[in-house]
């Protein structure tokens, strides 16, 4: 079999590429997804986030290696294993990042990625519920809606942020990011607006697209330095499929570097140690791993406005039926819709903290039900200085890779996280939340000193599920792709996903990944 383009991974970026590349009828495209189709209730129902996240049929369910600065805990690292990838099980919060993030990218010799260059692509993605303007799109493929969730805790939280001296902001994806308000969400008509539904499904009707599911790509085939195809297991049989033009890796920040290394592209010594023939020595493959680390400040709630009511099986059944009947009620929302960005101290150049407010306690990624009414504020530094890495366990493509985040390796990350807790407590202690506020559960009212806060962070902090930057674009010796996302030293192979970010953006990563894919599609179409 031969196609012009082989896209490996039908996650956020892969779905965008499949749509955009098949807009030209002369392009013959195949996309390969190791997982299954995702048109199931546990994906479509917004409140059912955790069901797909914890289902091994739809998720890789990775864990990190023991993290030395988090009491040697192995942190959960879910990654979508289905059509739509992580857009099919994420929290549906749509955050572009701060304009300054992209100015920093441009300063690394990546002029094609300045804010001025990426803004038109962000606008191209969306049909925004509040209408088109200089910063927002009104005729894009993906419905992006400002949350209208009227839970009284959200209003109280946003007012409390104002009382604490922070800005309110009605559009954190607009002219400026700083401030607190309701987030944009990819929820539409009571259902998850996944990238697969809005980008891939329409493209499936085109004769020039072939979608393979449960198709595990084992390696990229090279002829010298030129990528010419892939070896992929379909129906328990390994087949060779060839590319006339390009092989495009869109497996994400964990799987794309793993596949490159299995194919002979990566650090020379590491590949030789695993018995892999080296095609191209690139030291940066798998390096530069970044993520946002969240700490939860948890408070009891004196009212019944939290999600604890739905722990009751009868209530859960009732709201589930309501959603199945008419896509309404509590199951039609994620309840992750309030939050904001601020500076932890005045000397910060631009907002260095993101907050998500959630009207329930989250225990062990939702595997343990809370035992009382409560709410929590997720606090995380936007720009961690710690760097981790992805390495191979073996040359077997079915062995999970080793993931080492090295959270809090850099002292500044710990200091910023402590600052995050101080800011969170300041907001949660304001008058607007007083009618709801019971005692603080975590870190707990006893935790007054920075030493006690540090102990809480090391024992309780969790991933925000934003792994990125493991195949960074740039011009230095640790860069893997150039600014048009071509792999250095090789021909006919690109990477298009969150792994190519040189630095992690401020906020959730789905929107920037969409933008990267839209931008890449134009690079690819214009290179023919």
Q: Which residues does the annotation mark as catalytic?
A: 466
Q: How far apart are the first and last CA of the chain?
A: 21
Q: State whether the Cα torsion 497-473-245-239 is positive or negative.
A: negative
What 3-state class would DSSP assign to 320?
helix
CA 454 to centroid of chain Cα atoms? 26
Which ranges in 382-480 belong to alpha helices (H)?
411-428, 450-460
Residue 129: C-alpha distances to residues 92, 185, 326, 344 (Å)? 15, 10, 21, 31
- Judge residue 291's burial from the number of C-beta atoms within 10 Å of its C-beta, 0-12 exposed, 13-18 middle, 19 or more buried: buried
- CB 503 within 8 Å of CB 383: yes
State whether residue 223 is helix, strand or coil.
strand
**HSE-up (13 A, CA, CB side) for residue 481:** 28
CA-wise closest residue to 518 among 10, 13, 3, 87 = 13
What gap in Å lies between CA 488 and CA 391, rounded to an integer?
A: 19
Q: Is the dihedral of CA 65, 70, 71, 73 positive or negative?
A: negative
- Largest Cα–Cα separation, the chain: 69
CA 198/CA 193 separation, integer angstroms: 7
What one-character-per-residue DSSP string does 116-132 give? HHHHHHHHHHEEETT--
Compute the chain's Rg from CA coordinates: 22
CA dihedral 142, 148, 152, 156 (to 10 degrees): 80
Phi-psi group of 309: left, alpha or beta (phi > 0 → left; psi -120 to 50 → alpha; rest → beta): alpha
CA pair distance 31, 215, nearest whole angstrom:
9
């Amino acid at each position: 079999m031969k196609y012009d383009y082989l896209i490996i991974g039908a996650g956020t970026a892969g779905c965008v590429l499949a749509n955009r590349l098949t807009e030209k009828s002369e392009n013959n495209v195949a996309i390969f997804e190791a997982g299954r189709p995702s048109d199931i209730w546990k994906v479509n129902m917004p409140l059912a986030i955790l069901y797909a996240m914890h289902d091994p049929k739809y998720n890789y369910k990775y864990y990190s290696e023991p993290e030395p600065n988090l009491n040697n805990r192995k942190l959960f690292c879910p990654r979508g294993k289905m059509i739509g990838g992580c857009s099919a099980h994420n929290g549906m919060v749509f955050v572009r990042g701060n304009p300054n993030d992209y100015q920093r990218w441009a300063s690394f010799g990546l002029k094609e990625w300045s804010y001025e260059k990426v803004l038109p692509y962000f606008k191209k993605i969306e049909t925004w519920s509040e209408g088109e303007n200089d910063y927002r799109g009104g005729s894009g493929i993906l419905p992006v809606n400002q949350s209208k969730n009227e839970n009284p805790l959200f209003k109280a939280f946003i007012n409390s942020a104002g009382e604490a001296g922070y800005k309110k902001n009605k559009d954190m994806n607009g002219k400026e990011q700083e401030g607190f308000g309701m987030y944009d969400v990819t929820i539409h008509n009571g259902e998850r607006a996944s990238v697969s539904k809005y980008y891939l499904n329409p493209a499936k009707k085109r004769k020039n697209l072939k979608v393979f599911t449960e198709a595990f790509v084992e390696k990229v085939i090279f002829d010298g330095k030129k990528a010419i195809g892939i070896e992929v297991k379909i129906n328990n049989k390994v087949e060779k499929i060839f590319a006339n033009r390009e092989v495009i890796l869109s497996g994400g920040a964990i799987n794309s570097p793993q596949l490159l290394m299995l194919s002979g592209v990566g650090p020379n010594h590491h590949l030789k140690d695993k018995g892999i023939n080296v095609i191209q020595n690139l030291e940066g493959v798998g390096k530069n791993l970044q993520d946002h680390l969240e700490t939860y400040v948890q408070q009891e709630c004196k009212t019944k406005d939290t999600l604890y009511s739905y722990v009751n099986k009868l209530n859960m059944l009732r709201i589930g039926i309501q959603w199945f009947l008419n896509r309404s009620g509590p199951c039609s929302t994620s309840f992750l819709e309030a939050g904001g960005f601020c500076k932890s101290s005045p000397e910060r150049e631009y907002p260095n903290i993101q907050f998500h407010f959630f009207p329930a306690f989250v225990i062990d990624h939702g595997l343990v039900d809370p035992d009382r009414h409560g709410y929590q504020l997720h606090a995380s530094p936007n720009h961690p200085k710690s760097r981790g890495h992805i390495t191979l366990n073996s040359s077997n493509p079915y062995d999970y890779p080793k993931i080492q985040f090295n959270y809090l390796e850099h002292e500044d990350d710990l200091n910023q996280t402590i600052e995050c807790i101080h800011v969170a407590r300041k907001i949660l202690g304001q008058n607007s939340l007083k009618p709801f506020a019971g005692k603080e559960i975590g870190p707990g009212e006893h935790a007054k000193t920075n030493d006690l806060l540090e102990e809480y962070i090391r024992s309780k902090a969790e991933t925000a599920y934003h792994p990125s930057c493991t195949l960074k674009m740039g011009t230095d010796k640790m860069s893997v792709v150039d600014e048009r996302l071509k792999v250095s030293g090789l021909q006919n192979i690109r990477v298009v996903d969150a792994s190519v970010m040189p630095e992690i953006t401020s906020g959730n990563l789905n929107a920037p990944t969409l933008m990267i894919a839209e931008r890449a599609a134009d690079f690819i179409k214009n290179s023919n």
